Amino acid sequence: MKVVKLEDVLGTDQEVDDGNWVSRRLIFKNDNMGYSINDTIIRAGTETHIWYQNHLESVYCIEGEGEVETIADGKVHPIKADTLYVLDKNDEHLLRATSDMRMVCVFNPPLTGREVHDENGVYPVDNS
């Protein structure tokens, strides 16, 4: 069994800040669970282009408000506390935060823990 407390992650290399967001990485590929979990803050007033070509992601908003726009169809989906959205088709999207949004993000395949988006909004896949 493993127990992870957010307070133990804050201020360590498991807390990754990419400007528009700060992601606290809780469960990684090395934990051998088949998925990874991040506790992420999306900063108010930001827009982030994301396109997880190598990962599927489910995102549960527990605080704040914003929206997700899917690029393929231009649909805008309001996001607020107690809302889950699922990027089940490697959806290219824009994530906009009206206020700070706190999100719980689950990735498959799992992240290694240090990823940041490349110029296309992609996380690399670790095939090791």
CATH code for the domain in which residue 83 is found: 2.60.120.10
More reliable by pLDDT, 115 or 8? 8
Residue 121 lies in a domain: no
**Three-class secondary structure assignment of the chain:** CCCCCHHHHCCCCCEEECCCEEEEEEECHHHCCCCEEEEEEECCCCEEEECCCCCEEEEEEEECEEEEEECCCCCEEEEECCEEEEECCCCCEEEEECCCEEEEEEEECCCCCCCCCCCCCCCCCCCC
How many domains is the chain partitioned into structurally? 1
Q: Residue 76: which domain range?
A: 6-108
Residue 34 lies in a domain: yes
- Please tell me the pTM assigned to this model: 0.88
Residue 50 lies in a domain: yes
On average, the pLDDT of the chain sits at 91
Provide the pLDDT confidence category of residue 52 given band limits of 50, 70 and 90.
confident
